[in-house]
Amino acid sequence: MGGAATDRVVIVGAGLAALSAALALAPFPVLVLSPEPLGEGASSAWAQGGVAAALKAPDSPAIHAADTIRAGAGLVDAVVAHRVVQEAGEHVRILADLGTPFDRSAEGGYVLSREAAHSFARVVRVRGDQAGAAIMRHLAAAVRATPSVQVLEGVRAVALETAGGEVCGLRLESAAPGGSEAVVLRAPAVLLAGGGSGGLYALTTNPRRIRGEAIGLAARAGAVIADAEFVQFHPTAIDIGEDPAPLATEALRGEGAVLRNRDGERFMFSVHPDAELAPRDVVARAIFLQSRAGLRPVLDATSLGPRLREQFPALVAACARAGIDPVQEPVPVAAAAHYHMGGIATDERGRTSLRGLWACGECASTGLHGANRLASNGLLEALVFARACAGDIRDAIGPAGCLGAPPLRLPALRPLPQGHALAAQEDARLRALRRMMTDHVGVVRDGSGLRRALAAIAGLEAAAPPPSEAFRNICATATLIAAAALLREESRGAHFRSDFPAPRGEIGQRSRLTLDEALALRRQCEREMT
C-alpha cells in the first residue's frame, strides 16, 4: 500500500457542501476528492426545488424556523433551526453574486415557490426545476478559478486513518469500476461532505454513487451516527422504470398540480387537510399505499398548461423519454428514497465525535431536519454548515495553515487484478441489498422485516469473495439505518412502523448509535433467524 502526505485540508465529496466549504476555506490550501468530473454525480446538481429562505413579508425567519420545527415531528434542534434560517438570505445573495440565475420578477425580486409544509412561498428557484444544476455550475467554475483549491477527480475515500482517537488521513482508491490498490494520504484535517444514502434503495431519485459511503467510512472509524432511521421518501418520483428515477419537483404541487389514482380520485383530501401540500412523509405513505393497492397514483399537472414546458423543463424531458406529455396527460409517480435526515453526528461547528474530522451536507446530522426534512432546507443546511466547518477548521489549524501547500502528487492508483470481475459480483450484491432495503426498511416498516433486513445485510457482507472497503461502508450505513429503525418502537416523521403506528409523545429523542452497537444488534438478529 503506497502513501503520501499533504498540508492541505482534504474535502471528501464534490457537491454543494463540499464546494462551498472549499471556497469558504480560501486562501487555506484545500484538496477536493471528486469521484466523478467536478459538478457531476452529486445530488446537489439534481436538486430541483431550490433554496428555502424567508425573503419577503409577511414571511420571516421566525416563521420559517417554526415550519422547520413543525415538519421535523418533535426532533428538530430549535437552536440550530433558528440559526440556519437567519443565515438563509445571506447565502442566497452569495449564490446570486456567483452568477446563479435565480428566477426574477419584472421588478427584479426573486420568484418564490411554495412547497409542502411551508407557510409561505419561500423557495428561490431557477427555471422552475433547475436550481441545483445552475448553482453547481457556478460553484464548480468558482472552485476551478480559486488558486488555493486543488481538485482530484476519479478518486474516492474508502477508509479513515486514525491514531490515538484522532483522524489523521484517509485511504484512497480509484473510483473507476474495479477499483485499485489503496493509497494512504496523511492530512491535517478531513471534511466529509460525501452525500446521502438514497442509492441504498431500489427506487431512488439520487445519483448512482450516493449510497451512504461517507457515513459508513466515518462509522467504521468509530464516529457516532445520529438519527440514521430517518430516510425521506419523495412522494413524486416519476415511475417510468428508470434507475435512478427522475423527479417531479414538489413545486409542481405548489403551482396547482394534484394527485389522483387510476380511478381519478384525489385521494389526499381524505388523508390530510393540506391535501397535496401535506408534509412529505404523509404524502409519501399515501402514494405508497395507493401503489400497494394497485391503484397506480399519478401527478396531474395538466391544469398548468403549456407553461410547464418553460417552467419545469426537467419534468418535460423525463416524461418525453417515456412518451408522456405532461401538458396533456397525468404522470405516473411512486415514493422513492430521496434524502437522509440522519448521518454523522455533528455539533454547531460541524465537528464530529472524532478529533480531526468534520462533516457537512447530507452525510451529516446537525439536528436541523429532525424526523422529516422541510422541503428545500437541504441545500440551505449544506451552505450554512459548509461555512461553519470552514471557519472551525481554520481556527483548528491556525494562521500557519494559510501559508500555502504544493499541489499533491498522488502515487499511481494501480488497478486490482480481476478488479472488473469483482466489481460485477459486488454489483449483484448491491442489487440484492437495494431490493432488501426497499422491501424491509422502506416507507412502511415493522420489526419482523427489520430483523430480516439486518440478517440479510450480514449475509451479503460475509459472502465470498470478501467485499471491498467501499461495499463494507455501504453495508455499515444500511446496518445503522435498519438497527436504528428497529430500536425506535414508534412512528415519527419519515419513520413509520406498522407495528407501532403512533408517536410516543409530541417531543421525541434523537437517536445516537455507533457501528459497534448496531453490529451487536445485527448479530442478535442473525441468531434469531437461524
Instruction: Kindly report, residue by residue over 85-106, the tens digit of the pLDDT.
Output: 999 999 999 999 999 999 998 8
Task: Write down the pLDDT at residue 418.
Answer: 73
Task: Write down the pLDDT at residue 1.
Answer: 64
Task: Write down the pLDDT at residue 400.
Answer: 74
Task: Write down the pLDDT at residue 399.
Answer: 81
**To the nearest whole number, what is the mean pLDDT of the chain?**
93
CB 388, CB 350: distance < 8 Å: yes
Catalytic status, residue 280: yes
Between 249 and 360, where is the model more confident? 360
Residue 264 CB-density burial (10 A; 0-12 exposed, 13-18 middle, 19+ buried): exposed
Percent of the chain clearing pLDDT 90 (strictly above)? 78
Task: Write down the pLDDT at residue 18.
Answer: 96
Report residue 398's pLDDT band, with 50, 70 and 90 as the boundaries: confident
How many Å apart are CA 19 and CA 73, to the nearest integer? 31
Report residue 279's pLDDT band, with 50, 70 and 90 as the boundaries: confident
Report residue 275's pLDDT band, with 50, 70 and 90 as the boundaries: very high
By 3-state DSSP, what share of the chain in percent is helix, strand and coil, each rounded to 5?
Answer: 40, 20, 40
CA-closest candidate to residue 277, choices 311, 251, 304, 307: 251
Exactly one of 8, 209, 220, 280 is catalytic; name it. 280
Beta-sheet pairing, 357-359 with 343-345: unpaired
CA-closest candidate to residue 4, choices 297, 473, 528, 407: 407
pLDDT at 117 over 80: yes
Task: Write down the pLDDT at residue 419.
Answer: 73
If you average pLDDT over residues 221-228, what whole number do you get? Answer: 98
How many Å apart are CA 263 and CA 12, to the nearest integer? 48
14-28, 34-48, 235-249, 320-334: lowest mean pLDDT where?
34-48
Between 340 and 420, where is the model more confident? 340
Task: Write down the pLDDT at residue 377.
Answer: 95
How many Å apart are CA 50 and CA 185, to the nearest integer? 35
Write the pLDDT tens digit of every residue in 338-388.
Answer: 999 999 999 999 999 999 999 999 999 999 999 999 988 999 999 999 999
pLDDT at 401 over 80: no
Report residue 316's pLDDT band, with 50, 70 and 90 as the boundaries: very high
Report residue 261's pLDDT band, with 50, 70 and 90 as the boundaries: very high
151-160, 239-248, 276-285, 430-439: lowest mean pLDDT where?
276-285
* Strands ordered across the beta sheet of 343-345: 364-365, 343-345, 225-226, 512-513
H or E segment to which residue 340 belongs: strand 331-340
206-210, 268-272, 290-294: lowest mean pLDDT where?
206-210
Percent of the chain clearing pLDDT 70 (strictly above)? 99
C-alpha cell at 476: 455499515
Q: Which CATH architecture has domain 239-335?
A: Alpha-Beta Complex (3.90)
If you average pLDDT over residues 293-319, what whole number do you get? Answer: 94
Instruction: Supply the pTM of this predicted model.
Output: 0.94
